[in-house]
Amino acid sequence: MRATWVIFKREFGAYFNSTIAYVFAIVFFLTVGGVYVLFMFREGKADMRLFFELLPWFFIWLVSGVSMRLWAEEKKVGTQEVLLTLPVTSLQAVMGKYLGALAFMLLCLALTFPFPLSLYLLGTPDWGPIIGGYLAAVLVLAMFLAIGAFFSSVTQNQIVAFILTALVLALLSLAGIPPVYSNIMAIQREVGEFVRWVAVTYHFGNIARGIVDSRDVIYALSLAAFFLYLNVAMVEGRR
């Protein structure tokens, strides 16, 4: 526990010394903010439904950009050898680094708090869907990041890690678009249903309406756990 906490602190701190992380955080904030201002205010409704529906698409870039260095950089520079010869287990190292990156991304998400605040100042928003939306956003970040951390551990090239992560996250998001899974369903029903189940947008759409279903929570957490397990296996696999 202590080792995980120490590694968490270092990892979290490293993002504040990383130019690339700042760039991705700022670009995320600017694009998400720009879209929010353009669409929300034009619709004139005091809710954030569209915002939460679009969020996974922004997360693809944010997560890929922030997670690519997680293990690839350690491998490239060789610090992984120092880290893993310390008296820590692979699981502690993986979790410490993962949680450190997650904390940084939650901070990026917190940058969007002015949006609901502005709704509160300008109208009377329904808080249920907004709180539900943020809860969902945290789950999606946790799941996306586990995927990003895993792909960062398969290569020492950060660009490769970025592309692989973005590709997989994009596929996971695209799979939930009706024409995609319904066409597959028409050919083979079970496959189509699986494609829809695995899609982040399918589960996330529910939550953005303010419905927090335990099945969606289990979906996100089990995928996160699965990829973290693969991450540990990759780190152990060096041996």
Partner 1 sequence: MAEAMVTVENLRKTFGNVVAVDSISFKVHRGEILGLLGPNGAGKTTTMRILTCYIAPDSGTAKVAGADITDDPLEVKRHIGYLPENAPVYTEMSVKEYLRFMADVRGCKGSARKERIEWVVEHCGLQPKYLATIGTLSKGYRQRVGLAQAMIHDPDLLILDEPTSGLDPRQIIEIRDLIREIGKTKTVFLSTHIMQEVEAICSRSVIIHKGKLVADGKPDELRTAAAGASRVVARIKAPPEELRGELGRLQGAGEVSVEAAEGAAAGGAVWCDCRISFQKGMDPEEGGERIFALVRDRGWSLRRLQFERISMEDVFLQLTREGAA
Q: Which stretch binds partner 1 (CB under 8 A): 22-30, 35-43, 85-93, 157-165?
A: 85-93
Q: Which stretch binds partner 1 (CB under 8 A): 10-18, 99-107, 152-160, 198-206?
A: 10-18
Binding of partner 1 at residue 78 (CB under 8 A)?
Answer: yes
How many angstroms separate the Cα of 206 from the Cα of each of 74, 104, 135, 182? 38, 26, 12, 18
In eight-state DSSP terms, residue 37 is H
Binding of partner 1 at residue 20 (CB under 8 A)?
Answer: no
Q: How many CA atoms lie within 13 A of 110 on its CB side?
A: 6
CB 151 within 8 A of CB 165: yes
Cβ within 8 Å of residue 145, ≥6 positions away: 63, 66, 67, 98, 101, 102, 105, 224
Amino acid at 42: R
Q: Which stretch binds partner 1 (CB under 8 A): 87-95, 97-105, 145-153, 164-172?
A: 87-95
Among 20, 27, 54, 84, binds partner 1 (CB under 8 A): 84
- Token pair for 63: 């997560």
**By C-beta, is 42 or 239 nearer to partner 1?**
239
The least distance separating partner 1 from the CB of residue 80, rounded to whole angstroms, comes to: 8
List of residues contacting partner 1 (CB under 8 A) = 2-3, 6-7, 9-10, 13-14, 17-18, 77-79, 81-82, 84-89, 238-239
